[in-house]
Amino acid sequence: MKLKKLKKYKFGIIGYGSIGRVHRNNLINLGYDTLIYDPKINNKEFAKNLKEIVDNCFAVIISSPSYTHLKYLRYFVEKEKHIFIEKPFTHELKKTKEIIKIANSKKILIAVNYNLRVRSSILHLKKLLSKVKKIYWANFNMSSNVLLWRKNYSFEKNYTQNKIAGGIIYDSIHEIDLNNFLFKNVKFINSYNLNYNKKIFKNFSYSNIN
């Protein structure tokens, strides 16, 4: 399917890790220009500061480490830029609600990349579930070996290790989001969280949520 480009917009990309590269390639394939900002990468072709992004870009994609999402979200909302942000949205509920309120007042668009919601299998499942009168119980299982996520990568520096916004809850937020997407009137009862290997993980590596 060919997508029609309406205007010559330039998009800012905040954070140029593996996901940032995916977004840049997608935008280039769609015919859009990009400007990248990543404080950890020294590249003369990148933006030197956030002001350069604001001055040159119509909208921004926040694909930086999860613990930085909140500060970039607040900054670009204040600068009245439309935002596409990677999961997890942020790690602070109260502050995020305040930012969303400001964004709504300024008519700023904010989209969160819960991309599993648009998979054909998930949409088909949601359609089937809509025909069920009452659902009493459902179970989501997810497991992954983060040590094998990337080749030649130092896990000690991975964003999943962050004490504030790392660990299983933030990394497996897709499953929590799908639970809310597929079902109505979901209520949190309790959870049990633990760290199986404190020598490797700085945050919870296991969670059971009811």
**Domains (range + CATH), the chain:** 10-113 (3.40.50.720), 116-209 (no CATH)
Residue 166: which residues within 8 A CB-CB, separation 6 or more? 66, 67, 158, 159, 160, 202, 203
pLDDT for the residue 1: 43
pLDDT for the residue 2: 53
Kindly report the pTM of this predicted structure: 0.84
Alpha-carbon distance of 66 to 193, in angstroms, equals 20
Q: pLDDT tens across 3-27, in order?
A: 555 567 899 999 998 899 999 999 9
Mean pLDDT over 155-173 rounds to 76
Q: pLDDT tens across 73-101, in order?
A: 999 999 999 999 999 888 888 999 999 99
Alpha-carbon distance of 154 to 55, in angstroms, equals 35
Q: Give the HSE-up count for residue 203: Cα atoms under 13 Å, Cβ half-sphere.
A: 17
Mean pLDDT over each residue of the chain, to the nearest integer: 89
pLDDT for the residue 47: 95
Q: pLDDT tens across 94-120, in order?
A: 999 999 999 999 999 999 999 999 999
Q: How far is CA 44 from the centre of its chain?
A: 27
pLDDT band at 56 (very low <50, low <70, confident <90, very high): very high
